[in-house]
Structure 1
Amino acid sequence: MNKFANTAISSDSTDQWNALHSGYATYTGSGYSGGCALLDPISSDMEITALNPDDYNSYGIKAALAGAYLQVEGPNGSTIVYVTDLYPEGGNGALDLCPTSFAKIGDMSAGKIDISWKVIKAPITGNVSYRIKEGSSQWWAAIQVRNHKYPVLKMEYYKDGQWINMEKMQWNHFVGTNMGTGTIQIRMTDICNHVITDTIDSLPQSGTSAAYIVPGNVQFPD
């Protein structure tokens, strides 16, 4: 249910967002298509990872670290990976890396290695963009933020003089209802408690459209 809400997330999300996590890593060839975070299409040359449930849903927010970039340290080195999927059976701190990433930081023959990792600023350029999920309409809409410097924890939309909170779902979209067909003003808060506002052109009148991408006009500060 949408709720009128304050912008701030919590002091923990600001103070500890780049804390060092310890855990283990395994590897898998999946996650490039159909990952829980719904970030398709993902280039086959990207280094990606699935993330354990506790960290994927950090701060009590579903999919809090979906789309985050992590710097991972292993026995043989370090690398940077993009969070595209959930690692359902992973313990606290665990990553299920793509084979390329695992090979950079450990021995493939080990199958499982000790690691540490932290969230970093994404190595991206340009503004954010938005994926409008298939089936979205003026009555129900699911909006995903892409190309963000830091994980996005909160989205609100402005209606009738109020900012209305949109629930973030496990599948990495923010859901709103009765958003109308006019230009929508949105406000987003990232894991560092940076707040930015933007506008999205009108939503489809009916829920029959396929998913589509809308270019954004802003980006989170460094």
Structure 2
Amino acid sequence: MRKKINIGFILIVLMMFCSVPQTSAAYNDWHNGYATYTGSGYSGGAFLLDPIPSNMEITAINPRDLNYGGVNSALAGAYLQVEGPGGKTIVYVTDLYPEGPSGALDLSPNAFRKIGNMKDGKINIKWRIVKAPITGRLTYRIKEGSSRWWAAIQVRNHKYPVMKMEYNQDGKWIKMEKMGYNHFVSTHLGTRSLKVRITDIRGKVVRDTIPKLPKYGTSQAYTVRGSIQFPD
């Protein structure tokens, strides 16, 4: 009888332990991994951030770190401080490194050269998210094919990675789905200008207004200037 009670008690303790929510890593924690280098990512990257200046230091990122917090492409457009055996630098996340394990980055050659020896081809690194070295306000890329019936909207020029976007319809905030190609998507967005609410990786929230969408699907993507920026 005593043995059964002990087993039952152990099971209860285990169940209580398993039910405790696991704490996620902080957004700006250091990540350990390796870096390789590639000349791609400046045009046609997975996150549709073109055009990207040819002299910019950029990187592709592994899928696990990309989708931070379970959000698709959470770190798309982020800026990372990367440290290697030869120094440190800051890179812009523009593409996916599909075969890379957790912690791995595929840097542009100009970035790799600053932190390691090109002859090595692969070096140990650590990196973390930092505030983007940008100025000005948010901008929005409205993807081709967007209309009042279906739209894909990308947030650009943000100080920290964007995790969530909502729009207001009849006093209700409606969450848009973030896609792997770094756009927020929804349907039946209405005929008026869009009041949007945007949340970054730190939980900071800003509100802005996007001019009303085309009646019919736009044949080309276009960009809209925002009126707000995330606080430091």
Task: Please indicate, yes or no, whether the TM-score normalized by the shorter chain is above 0.5.
Answer: yes
Alignment partner, residue 85 of structure 2: 75
The sequence identity of aligned pairs, in percent, is 67
Alignment partner, residue 11 of structure 2: none
Alignment partner, residue 38 of structure 2: 28
Alignment partner, residue 89 of structure 1: 99
Query: 2:176 aligns to what SS in structure 1?
Result: strand
Alignment partner, residue 57 of structure 2: 47
**Counterpart amino acid of residue 168 in structure 2:** Y
Superposition pairs of residues 6-155 of structure 1, within 5 angstroms: 16-155=26-165
Unpaired stretches in structure 2, ≥5 consecutive residues: 1-21
Q: Give the alignment's TM-score, normalised by structure 2.
A: 0.89
Deviations 1:95-150 (A, max 9, x none): 00000000110011111000000000000000000000000000000000000000
Alignment partner, residue 186 of structure 1: 196
- Cα displacement (A) at 1:208: 3.4
Superposition pairs of residues 165-184 of structure 1, within 5 angstroms: 165-184=175-194
* Larger Rg computed on CA atoms: 2
Query: 1:93 aligns to what SS in structure 2?
Result: coil
- Cα displacement (A) at 1:160: 1.5
Number of paired residues?
212
**Counterpart amino acid of residue 171 in structure 1:** Y
Alignment partner, residue 207 of structure 1: 217
Query: 1:66 aligns to what SS in structure 2?
Result: coil
Query: 2:111 aligns to what SS in structure 1?
Result: helix
Cα distance in 2 for residues equivalent to 1:26 and 1:12:
30
Unpaired stretches in structure 1, ≥5 consecutive residues: 1-10
Cα distance in 2 for residues equivalent to 1:85 and 1:56:
10
Cα distance in 1 for residues equivalent to 2:52 and 2:111:
15
Structure 1 or 2: larger helix share? Answer: 2
Q: 1:161 aligns with which of 171, 191, 197?
A: 171
Cα distance in 2 for residues equivalent to 1:79 and 1:155:
30
Structure 1 runs, 4 residues or longer, greater than 6 Å off: none
- CA RMSD after TM alignment: 1.4
Query: 1:59 aligns to what SS in structure 2?
Result: helix
